[in-house]
Amino acid sequence: MSNEHMKISAHHLNLWFGSKQVLKNINVDFPQNEVTALIGPSGCGKSTLLRSFNRMHDLSPDARIEGQIKLEEQDLYEKKLSVTQVRKRIGMVFQKANPFPKSIYENINYGLEINNIPKADRPGIIESALRESYIWDEVKDELDKPATRLSGGQQQRLCIARAVALRPEVILMDEPCSALDPLSTLKIEELIVKLKKDYTILIVTHNMQQAQRVADKTVFMYLGEIIEQGNTADIFNQPKVELTGNYVKGHFG
């Protein structure tokens, strides 16, 4: 991974919840405009790692973080950097689609509003975010409809549009398809592959086929440590570590 431009990285990252160490000496770089999958059995710390990039642990009083996380040259945990600034540059899509209980339009407008985007620019941004997320044609005539009436797959694409509307540099996805049917999953996967030309994407997934379909790079984690990282094809076909091989072949999980 050395001759690519590295967008976001963690160095000597350790994280504890109370007295339990969840992340152990994590060193990882994520290349720009590529999709990187984080895989590993439940409880291995992949979601925790993902959420430390946009400082989602800030509000958990028992979480303690050591080490460095950088976006380009910016230290994301620097004291004078506000967390809202971080989250404007690093968007997130969650495991279960979580649209606001507002209209489709308001779901995207709200993010623009709290980030002080001028009112005149908002309608255009909202339309292009919905287009970018391949949901515009399905919702353009009913933007006033409550977002909760959309199907699960549409809701998740709306959540992606909500993240995209703020023009982040990185999008974090925490098992975005785990609650969706195969067809909706396929649509989201196509969307992820298309989005990578504009964004750097990190995706946590339990689905080995999905990792192979969407990810350029794959990071395998186990018990809070990174066991192996590299090109997706290498991780799945010629893993260097036996544990990785056993996991991707489905011997445990």
Partner 1 sequence: MKKLTPIIEWGTLLLSTGIVCFFLVVILWDLISKGASSLSWEFVSTLPKEGMTKGGIFPAITGTVLLTMITAIAAVPFGISCAIYLNEYAVDNWLTRIIRASIRNLAGVPSIIYGLFGLALFVQGLHMGTSLLAAGLTLGLLSLPYIIITTEEALRRIPASTREAALAIGATQFESIRDVVLPTALPGILTGVVLTLSRAAGETAPILFTGVAFYINNPSGYLNQEFMSLPYHLYMLSTQHQAIEEVRPLAYGTALVLIIVVFLLNLTAFYIRYKRSKNE
Chain residues in the site for partner 1 (CB under 8 A): 54, 56, 59, 61, 84-85, 87-88, 91-92, 94-96, 98-101, 103, 110-111, 114-115, 146, 148, 159, 162-163, 166
Give the burial string for 22-51 (b: 16+ CB within 10 Å, else e): bbeebebbbbeebbbbbbbeeebbbbbbbb
Report the C-alpha gap between 105 and 166 in whole angstroms.
14
Of the pair 26, 173, the CB lying nearest partner 1 is at: 173
Please check whether residue 253 is in contact with residue 232, taking contact to mean a CB–CB distance below 8 angstroms.
no
Please state the closest distance from residue 93 (CB atom) to partner 1, in A: 8
Cβ of residue 26: shortest distance to partner 1, in angstroms? Answer: 21
Phi-psi region of 211 (alpha: psi -120 to 50; beta: other; left: phi over 0): alpha
Residue closer to partner 1 (CB basis): 4 or 17: 17
CB of 50: closest distance to partner 1 in angstroms?
12
- Which residue number, 15 or 93, has a Cβ lying nearer to partner 1? 93
Contact partners, residue 173, CB within 8 Å, separation at least 6: 92, 93, 192, 201, 202, 203, 204
Report in angstroms how near the CB of residue 143 gets to partner 1 at its nearest.
14
Q: Which is nearer to partner 1, 3 or 19 (CB)?
A: 19
